[in-house]
Homo-oligomer: A and B are copies of this chain.
Amino acid sequence: MDMSETVSRLAQRKAKRRQEILQAAAQLFSQRGYDATTADAIAEVVHLTKSALYTYVGSKEEIAVLLLEQVVEQLLHNAREIESEPVSPVDKLYRLIVRHVEVIGHHPASSLLFLHSEHILSAAQYPRLYALRDQYEALIRQWIAEGKAAGIFDVRDVRIAGWLMLGSLNWVIRWFSPQGTLSTESIGHEYARILLRGLSSEKKEQQQEEA
Q: State how many angstroms separate the Cβ of A140 from the closest Cβ of chain B.
A: 13
Tell me the bound Cα distance from A156 to B161 in angstroms: 23
How many copies of this chain?
2
Cβ distance A129 to chain B, nearest Cβ, rounded Å: 15
Tell whether A33 pairs with B157 under 8 Å between CB atoms, given A170-B167, A171-B171, A202-B197: no
CB pair B198–A182 under 8 Å, yes or no, is no
8 CB < 8 A contacts A-B: A155-B194, A156-B190, A157-B186, A163-B171, A163-B175, A166-B171, A196-B198, A198-B198
Q: Which of B112, B156, B167, B191 contacts A160 (CB 8 A)?
A: B191
Question: What class of interface size applies to chain A in its complex with B?
Answer: 35 or more
Q: A57 — which chain B residues lie within 8 A by C-beta?
A: none
Which residues of chain B come closer than 8 Å to A182, judged between CB atoms?
157, 160
* Nearest neighbor of A116 in chain B, beta-carbon distance: B119
A136-171 contact mask (Cβ, 8 Å, vs B): 1 or 0:
000000000000000000011100110111111111
